[in-house]
């Protein structure tokens, strides 16, 4: 297989991996929304496997680009070069991958925010069960006074 066909094939593998990572992120959001923390472990394991596959593809891409004399160039730079500018399939693939990457970033950010929100809820529930509540009041500077939970029970005098 010539290098340009190999490159195109490799980029199609990247696209498939992005598709599977999108499915994983959407599944992670469903798991977080459902509150079933146990399911999150499986999502994280699958996500880690996807990241390892991404590293493998990155390594293959870098060595292929070196072989092609294009070492250090990004996919976008290659697609925008004069020799590849005529290849509409490559340009279309680049556009799809960019859209999927942006969507993956947005979904990942959303799942991170949801996870952070759930974590705060769990911490507050634990604090409440232990008879402590966090001090959520604000000081004169507009910042939260303390993130440390405070006891809602009055100290006993002997």
Looking at the domain assignment, is residue 87 inside a domain? yes
Radius of gyration in angstroms for the set of CA atoms belonging to the chain, rounded to a whole number? 24
CA distance 96 to 25: 18
CA distance 153 to 83: 74
pTM: 0.72
Nearest to 104, CA basis, from 55, 52, 59, 51: 51
Residue 125 has pLDDT above 60, yes or no: yes
Tens-digit pLDDT profile for residues 49-87: 999 999 999 999 999 989 888 888 888 888 887 666 567
Looking at the domain assignment, is residue 58 inside a domain? yes
Number of domains in the chain: 1
User: Scanning the structure block, which residue is given the tokens 């976008």?
Assistant: 76
Looking at the domain assignment, is residue 138 inside a domain? no
């Amino acid at each position: 297989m010539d290098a340009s066909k190999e490159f195109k094939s490799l980029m199609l593998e990247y696209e498939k991996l992005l598709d599977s990572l999108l499915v994983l992120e959407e599944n992670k959001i469903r798991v977080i929304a459902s509150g079933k923390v146990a399911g999150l472990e499986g999502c994280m394991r699958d996500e880690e496997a996807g990241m390892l596959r991404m590293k493998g593809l990155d390594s293959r891409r870098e060595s292929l680009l070196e072989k092609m004399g294009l070492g250090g160039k990004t996919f976008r730079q290659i697609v925008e070069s004069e020799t590849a500018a005529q290849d509409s399939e490559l340009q279309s693939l680049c556009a799809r991958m960019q859209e999927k990457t942006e969507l993956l970033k947005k979904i990942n950010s959303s799942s991170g925010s949801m996870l952070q929100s759930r974590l705060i809820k769990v911490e507050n529930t634990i604090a409440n069960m232990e008879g402590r509540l966090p001090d959520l009041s604000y000081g004169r500077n507009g910042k939260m006074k303390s993130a440390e939970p405070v006891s809602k029970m009055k100290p006993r005098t002997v």
